């Protein structure tokens, strides 16, 4: 009797479960095709979706392959790529390299500052600031234009700036700019970085800086052609994604006519420094 009762209960539960499953599939079969065929809900006024040029080339789309968005919220961001101390033969030097921007989905206003401060003797060696407007021309690239002002070294100089910033293939961060000074001098600057993840928190970062000038600018010790290069290698540990101390090494050298000008004034064309610092953002 117990076996018959057990068998009956099992059969009833199995049939009930199968019936529930069949109802669920029937409901999906009835509802999903209609949902897929129905037109999308209208977008509220003032929140129009921008078209995706990559999906529909040649139909008049103009947002350069950037994914469509439903809003245009504003965000503020601050990042210190390098705040470090460099140990050189002639003395220690503090360096900062920071960015701040106010952005919406396709537009940004950038403020950037980079400089060096000699700790002993106490002296500001260089200060460079930039104020730029950026527009997203693709999902990974911003076209930027604005002004740059060099407070140090003397004489002070102002520049018009145009360039690109973004991610190149294989995830190389690139910042490339043309500079036209108030005196008509044309120069070029390139910075590139790559994050090699040894673990999820331990990251090795090679770094390249390259400078070039279209003409001699002797008042600031720059010759025509490639004028300077810097290669760096930094190993950082991200205790938090927003905070990462690092150590590393940096080698920089004047090139071509610029190296000749430096050596003519009794300086050294190249130098190597051990560095220690932090990278943070908020």
Q: What is the DSSP string of 241-274?
A: TTEEEEEEEEEEEE-HHHHHHHHHTT--SEEEEE
Does residue 44 lie within any of the structural domains?
no
- Number of structural domains found in the chain: 1
Q: How much is the pLDDT for 276?
A: 98
Does residue 67 lie within any of the structural domains?
no
What are the pLDDT tens digits along the chain (282 aa)? 444 334 443 433 444 444 444 444 444 444 444 444 445 555 555 444 444 444 444 444 455 555 555 567 888 999 999 999 999 988 899 999 999 999 988 999 999 999 999 998 889 999 999 999 999 999 899 999 999 999 999 999 999 999 999 999 999 999 999 999 999 999 999 999 999 999 999 999 999 999 999 999 988 899 999 999 999 999 999 999 899 999 999 999 999 999 999 998 888 899 999 999 999 999
Does residue 185 lie within any of the structural domains?
yes
The whole-angstrom separation of Cα 265 and Cα 123 is 19
Does residue 2 lie within any of the structural domains?
no
Contact between residue 165 and residue 134 where contact means Cβ atoms under 8 Å apart:
yes
Contact between residue 162 and residue 144 where contact means Cβ atoms under 8 Å apart:
yes
Q: How much is the pLDDT for 12?
A: 37
Q: How much is the pLDDT for 179?
A: 98
Count the neighbouring beta carbons within 10 Å of the beta carbon of residue 217: 20
Q: How much is the pLDDT for 89?
A: 86
Which structural domain range is residue 204 located in? Answer: 75-281
Does residue 205 lie within any of the structural domains?
yes
The whole-angstrom separation of Cα 89 and Cα 273 is 8
Does residue 236 lie within any of the structural domains?
yes
Does residue 5 lie within any of the structural domains?
no
Which residues, other chains included, contact 69 with Cβ-Cβ below 8 Å and sequence gap of 6+?
49, 50, 105
Helix (H), strand (E) counts: the chain: 2, 13
Does residue 184 lie within any of the structural domains?
yes
Q: What is the CATH number of the domain that holds 260?
A: 2.40.160.40
Q: How much is the pLDDT for 121?
A: 83
The whole-angstrom separation of Cα 199 and Cα 192 is 22
Q: How much is the pLDDT for 50?
A: 45
């Amino acid at each position: 009797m117990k076996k018959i009762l057990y068998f009956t209960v099992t059969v009833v539960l199995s049939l009930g479960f199968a019936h529930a499953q069949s109802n669920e599939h029937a409901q999906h079969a009835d509802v999903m095709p209609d949902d897929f065929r129905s037109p999308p809900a209208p977008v509220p006024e003032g929140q129009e979706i921008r078209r995706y040029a990559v999906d529909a080339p040649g139909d008049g789309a103009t947002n350069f392959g950037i994914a469509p968005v439903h809003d245009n919220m504003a965000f503020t961001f601050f990042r210190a790529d390098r705040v470090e101390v460099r140990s050189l033969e002639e003395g220690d030097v503090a360096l900062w390299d920071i960015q701040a921007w106010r952005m919406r989905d396709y537009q940004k206003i950038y403020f950037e500052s980079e400089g060096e401060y000699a700790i002993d003797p106490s002296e500001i060696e260089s200060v460079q600031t930039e104020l730029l407007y950026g527009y997203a021309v693709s999902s990974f690239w911003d076209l930027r234009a604005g002004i740059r002002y060099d407070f140090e070294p003397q004489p002070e100089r102002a520049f018009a700036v145009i360039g690109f910033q973004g991610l190149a293939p294989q995830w190389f961060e690139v910042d490339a700019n043309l500079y036209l000074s108030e005196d008509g001098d044309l120069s070029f600057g390139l910075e590139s970085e790559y994050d090699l993840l040894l673990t999820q928190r331990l990251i090795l970062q090679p770094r390249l800086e390259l400078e070039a000038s279209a003409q001699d600018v002797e008042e600031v010790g720059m010759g025509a052609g490639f004028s300077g290069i810097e290669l760096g290698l930094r190993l950082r540990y991200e205790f938090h994604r927003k905070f990462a101390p690092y150590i590393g090494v940096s080698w920089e050298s004047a090139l071509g006519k610029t190296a000749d000008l430096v050596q003519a004034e009794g300086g050294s064309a190249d130098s190597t420094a051990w560095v220690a610092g932090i990278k943070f953002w908020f």
